Structure 1
Amino acid sequence: MNNKKILNTEAQSLSNASRIKYFDLVIESGKGSTLTDINGKKYIDLLASASATNTGHSHPHVVEAITHQAQKIVQYTPAYFANEPAAKLSNRLTQLAPMDGPVKLAWGNSGSDANDALIKFARGYTGRPNVVSFTGAYHGSTYGSMSASAVSLNMSRKMGPLMDGFYKVPFPSPWYQRSYETKDQFIERMFDEFKLPFETYLPADEVAVILVEPIQGDGGIAKAPTKYLEKVYQFAHKHGILFAVDEVNQGMGRTGKWWSIQNFPGIKPDLMSVGKSLASGMPLSAVIGKQKIMDSLSAPANVYTTAGNPVTTAASLATLDVIEDEHLLQRSYDLGLKAKAFFDKMQQKYDFVGDVRMYGLDGGIDIINPENKKADSDIATKIIYRMFELGVVMITVRGNILRFQPPLVITNAELKQAFDVIKQAMQDEANGKIAFNAKIGWSAD
C-alpha cells in the first residue's frame, strides 16, 4: 500500500478532530533525524514529532532500554505498586528541576494531563479556585489543559462551556509591539494589560496559579521579554500566587538548556509540567513542584493506571543519558547559532521572510506579505509544501510561522541539506513556481 491508499483507508474510521491536516505522509520508520514513508521515500525531519523526539528517532540506547525492560515486565500499575525505573527517574528528574528547596513529582501520560495535575496541585495547595494563562498558549487537549489554552478556535468551538475559573491575559509576542514603541514601552504596556483583570474584576487573592510557556511553542516560537516575565513573577509572589511553567514543548534541551525557564536567570518556578521528549516520545509526563505543594493532595487525587510504568520510565532514563552523554544541550545551542545565521541570510534575500527567532534548535520564522508586511499563511504554506516535495518535513504554526525544531542529534550534513532545500523552496516561491493553494495546518481553522 502507498501513502494515499493507507490514508484513504484510515479516513473511513478516523475522526476529523484527531489530526491537523498537513501532508499526505504515512511514516513507516525513522532513524536519527531521517524519516522514511511507506513508499520508501526519505525525509529530513525538522519537526521532531512536535519536539517529542529530541534524541532522534529510534535512538539505540533508548530502544535498548525499552526492549530490556519490556522483556522483564511491560506494565503493572504504579497507582498501587512501585517499579525500579520510575523510582530512579523520580529522583533524577527532581534533581534536574530548576527550583529551590525539596522537590517532588507526580506522573502522567501526556503533557495534557500533566497540566491538569499542575492545576489540581495549585488549587489544592493555595485553596484558591482561579487560573491565569496566556493567549497563544497550547497546554493540551483535556478539559483542564484546554481551558487554559488559547491558540486555536477549534479547541473551544462546540465544546463549551469550558471549565470555570480560567482567565487569559495577552502574551507579549513580538508582533504585538507597535512601530513607535521602544522595547521597554512595549513591556510596560503589556504588563499593564496583564494587571488589568486583577485591577477590575479578578481578585488576586482568589488566583491559585499563573501558568505560562516562557517560550511559546504552537503560539509562534516566541520568547517573552525577560523584564516582562520578571514583572509577572514578582507580581505572583507578591500576591501569594504560584508561578508555573509549561515545559512540555520547550523543555528537555530544546532551547540549549534543560528547561526554557533557564533562559530567564533568577526565575525559579513553583511548579512545572514536562512531557513529549521526556521519554523520547513514549507516553510519559510529569508535574514537578516544590515539596510542600506536591504534598498538599492525597491519593487518589492524581493516579493513572499506566502513568510512570516500567517501560516508559526506562525509556526516560535512557533519554536523560543520551542528552547528557552526547552533550545535546551544547549541540542545540551551537547548531542553533548556525540556523540563526542561515535564516538571517534568507531574511536579507527574500522580502517575504520577516522576523527570525531562534533559541537553540528552536526557531520561529515569520512569513509575511512583501507589500503590507502582514502575516501571510498562503506563502508559508507553499514554502512548506515545496519543502515536503523536496524531502524535508517542516510545518507552520499560527498559519504563517515556520516551525524549526529538528531532533537535537541532527548531523551537520543533514542540517546543510535541509538548508539547501529551504533555500530552493524559497527561491521557487520568489520565482512564482509553486502551485499550491490548499488550506492546511493551523490556518485551516
Structure 2
Amino acid sequence: MGERKFANVQTELPGPKAKEWLKRRLNIVPDAVSYGVPTFVQSAKGAILHDVDGNTFIDFAGAIGTINIGHCHDSVVEALHDQIDRYIHTGFNVMMYDPYIQLAEKMAAISPGNCEKKVMFFNSGAEAVENAVKIARKFTKRNAVVSFTGGFHGRTLMAMSLTGKVKPYKHEFGPFAPEIYRAPFPYAYRRPENMNEEEYIRFVLDQLDDFFLREVDPNLVAAVIMEPVQGEGGFIIPGKQFVQEVYERCKKYGILFIADEIQTGFGRTGRYFAVEHYGIEPDLITISKSMAAGLPISGVIGRREVMDQAGSGELGGTYCGSPLGCRAGLAVLEAMEQEKMNERATEIGEKVMRKFKAMYDRFDVIGDVRGLGAMCALELVKDRKSKEPHKELCNRILQEAYTRGLIVLKAGVFDNVIRLLMPLVITDDELEEGLSILEESIETALALQLN
C-alpha cells in the first residue's frame, strides 16, 4: 500500500497518554461498559479522529451511526454556541422553547406519509422505543408487541425485551417485559440451499402467518416494530416484498407498524428514512442517533390521531427534547439538504460495494457482501459452503485495522459481520484510504491465522 495521507498511527496502541487514561478508566468505570480501540480522543473533525498521543484515525464507525453529518460540523457547532449563550435548559414541560417546535415541524415534513403527524422528543433511542410502545398500546387498547429475530431496539427493559440477541444484551438481565413475541425475519444469505430468494421470502411469510396462529392472536397485538435494515443484527436487508406484506398484515388486523429508524435514519441509506425504500407509511417512527450530530436526543413521529391518544402529562421527561439537541437537529437537517447528503450516501454505498465485491473475489472468507446506501457490511465465514461464522477472524481484522488507523465496528448475531458507518461527509480520498486499510487488515489477519 502507498503512503497514507490521513491515517497515521505513530505509537503502539495504547500510547503513553492513553495508557494512563486507560489505567484510570479501568479503576473507576465498570467492565460492562465496553470500548473498541484502546485510546482516547483529543479532537475530531469530519471523518477524522485524533487521539491524545497524536495518532490519526479514519472513522468508519461514526459513533455507531451517530455522526452521519460528520464530527463537529461547522453549522452544528455554531448553532450550539448560539444556544448556550441564550439558555441551556428550562424543561419543555415547564417553560417551552421554539427550537422544539421548529424541529418537530421539520421532522413531520420530511418523514414518509401524507397524513397529519405529530412529533415528540426524548433522550435516547431506547427511550423512543419505550414510548412508541406506550403510544401504540394506548391507541389500540391492546398489550402484545411483535418484534423480529435478530432485531435490536435498545438496552432498557422494554427495548431489551424486544431485542433478538441474548449476549451481550440480555444475558442474566431477566425477567423481561411480558407480552413480547418474536417473529421470523428473513436472512437471505442463510436461507436453505434448496430455495431461491423469492421462494425464501414466501417461506418466511408463511412462517409469519403460522406465528399468528400459534404464538399470538393478531387481534391482540398493539404494534409490530421493525428495523428497515437490521443494524446490530448484521445489516440484514429484508427486501421490499417482505416489508410490504408485513405492513399489509398490520393494516388487516389493526396493528400499528413502528419503523425503528434509530440507526438507519438521516441519510444513512440514501434517504432520510430507510423505510422510504419500501413504499410504506409507518404509523410510528422512532428516531435518534444522527438526528443531532452526537447530542443526546431522540423522538417519535406518528399519525396525529395515534399520538394524541395519550392524555396531558402521560408522556415526557425532564430532559426530553433539550434545547441543545433541538438546535443541533435543526442544523443537521439544514446541512443535509444544502450538502445533498442523501445523494452522497448513495455515492458512498456504490463505491464501498464495488470495493467489497473485489474483496469477495479475493478472499474466500468473505461469505456475503450487502448494503443499502452507505449502510454496507461484509460477513466472514470459515468457508463458503458451510457458512460457519468466523467471529475470531472478525475480531482480528478489527484489531489490525485499529493499528493502521482505521476505526471500524462489527455486528451480527454471530459477531462475524464488519459494518461500515462512516460519516457521509467523508472525502473520496479518505474513503479510498480507509477501504485500502480494511483490505490490508483482512490480508494480514489471514496471514497470521496461517502461522
- Counterpart AA for 1:216: Q
CA distance in 1: counterparts of 2:226 and 2:359, whole angstroms: 31
In structure 2, the residue matched to 1:322 is: 335
Tell me which of 379, 387, 392 is aligned to 1:366: 379
Contact map agreement 1:350 1:430 (CA 8 A) in 2: no
In structure 2, the residue matched to 1:411 is: 427
Q: How far apart are 1:153 and its partner, in Å?
A: 2.7
In structure 2, the residue matched to 1:111 is: 125
1:387-426 → structure 2 map (5 Å cutoff): 387-398=401-412, 399-426=415-442
CA distance in 2: counterparts of 1:93 and 1:229, whole angstroms: 23
Cα offsets for 1:30-88 (capped at 9, x unmatched): 10000111111010000100010100001111000001001110111012221011111
The yes-or-no answer on 1:342 pairing with 2:355 is: yes
CA distance in 2: counterparts of 1:236 and 1:223, whole angstroms: 20
- What is the TM-score normalised by the length of structure 1? 0.95
Contact map agreement 2:188 2:200 (CA 8 A) in 1: no
Give the 3-state SS of the residue equivalent to 1:215 in structure 2: coil
CA distance in 1: counterparts of 2:230 and 2:189, whole angstroms: 13
In structure 1, the residue matched to 2:28 is: 13
The yes-or-no answer on 1:192 pairing with 2:192 is: no
In structure 1, the residue matched to 2:12 is: none
Tell me which of 59, 68, 89 is aligned to 2:82: 68
CA distance in 1: counterparts of 2:19 and 2:251, whole angstroms: 54
In structure 2, the residue matched to 1:4 is: 19
Contact map agreement 2:135 2:310 (CA 8 A) in 1: yes
Q: How far apart are 1:434 and its partner, in Å?
A: 9.0
CA distance in 2: counterparts of 1:60 and 1:319, whole angstroms: 10
Contact map agreement 1:106 1:302 (CA 8 A) in 2: no
Tell me which of 195, 209, 213 is aligned to 2:223: 209
Q: How far apart are 1:432 and its partner, in Å?
A: 3.0
CA distance in 2: counterparts of 1:270 and 1:24, whole angstroms: 42
Give the 3-state SS of the residue equivalent to 2:388 in structure 1: coil
Give the 3-state SS of the residue equivalent to 1:248 in structure 2: coil
- Counterpart AA for 1:7: L
In structure 1, the residue matched to 2:9 is: none
CA distance in 2: counterparts of 1:66 and 1:196, whole angstroms: 51
Q: How far apart are 1:293 and its partner, in Å?
A: 0.3
CA distance in 1: counterparts of 2:50 and 2:268, whole angstroms: 23
1:214-293 → structure 2 map (5 Å cutoff): 214-265=228-279, 267-293=280-306
- Counterpart AA for 2:291: L
Cα offsets for 1:140-163 (capped at 9, x unmatched): 111111111112333222221111
CA distance in 2: counterparts of 1:180 and 1:10, whole angstroms: 51
In structure 2, the residue matched to 1:438 is: none
Give the 3-state SS of the residue equivalent to 2:32 in structure 1: helix
Cα offsets for 1:210-252 (capped at 9, x unmatched): 0000100010011112111111111111001011100000000
Give the 3-state SS of the residue equivalent to 2:370 in structure 1: strand
| Higher alpha-carbon deviation: 29-38 or 422-431 | 422-431
The yes-or-no answer on 1:354 pairing with 2:340 is: no
Tell me which of 391, 394, 404 is aligned to 1:380: 394
The yes-or-no answer on 1:136 pairing with 2:150 is: yes
Give structure 1 stretches of 5+ with no counterpart. 436-445
In structure 2, the residue matched to 1:78 is: 92
The yes-or-no answer on 1:147 pairing with 2:161 is: yes
Contact map agreement 2:43 2:50 (CA 8 A) in 1: yes
CA distance in 1: counterparts of 2:83 and 2:96, whole angstroms: 15
Q: How far apart are 1:419 and its partner, in Å?
A: 1.6
Contact map agreement 2:150 2:233 (CA 8 A) in 1: yes
Tell me which of 171, 175, 179 is aligned to 1:157: 171
| Higher alpha-carbon deviation: 168-177 or 250-259 | 168-177
In structure 1, the residue matched to 2:36 is: 22
How much is the aligned-residue C-alpha RMSD, in angstroms?
Answer: 1.4
Inter-CA distance 62–409: structure 2 relative to 1 (3 Å threshold): same
Q: How far apart are 1:170 and its partner, in Å?
A: 1.9
Cα offsets for 1:255-275 (capped at 9, x unmatched): 01110101112x110001000
CA distance in 2: counterparts of 1:71 and 1:424, whole angstroms: 47
Q: How far apart are 1:433 and its partner, in Å?
A: 7.0
CA distance in 1: counterparts of 2:235 and 2:349, whole angstroms: 13
- Counterpart AA for 1:246: D
Tell me which of 293, 296, 303 is aligned to 2:309: 296
In structure 2, the residue matched to 1:442 is: none
- What is the TM-score normalised by the length of structure 2? 0.93
Q: How far apart are 1:17 and its partner, in Å?
A: 2.3
| Higher alpha-carbon deviation: 76-85 or 194-203 | 194-203
Give the 3-state SS of the residue equivalent to 2:89 in structure 1: coil
Give the 3-state SS of the residue equivalent to 1:3 in structure 2: helix
In structure 2, the residue matched to 1:88 is: 102
In structure 1, the residue matched to 2:326 is: 313
Count of equivalent residues: 433
Give the 3-state SS of the residue equivalent to 1:104 in structure 2: strand
Cα offsets for 1:157-187 (capped at 9, x unmatched): 2221111111111221223311110112101
- Counterpart AA for 1:137: G
Cα offsets for 1:390-425 (capped at 9, x unmatched): 000001112110011100000001011112211211
- Counterpart AA for 2:380: I
CA distance in 1: counterparts of 2:377 and 2:236, whole angstroms: 7
- Counterpart AA for 1:335: I
Q: How far apart are 1:4 and its partner, in Å?
A: 2.2
Contact map agreement 1:121 1:296 (CA 8 A) in 2: yes
Give structure 2 stretches of 5+ with no counterpart. 1-15
Inter-CA distance 206–50: structure 2 relative to 1 (3 Å threshold): same
In structure 1, the residue matched to 2:139 is: 125
Cα offsets for 1:75-113 (capped at 9, x unmatched): 110122210111111111111111231000111001010
CA distance in 1: counterparts of 2:177 and 2:397, whole angstroms: 38
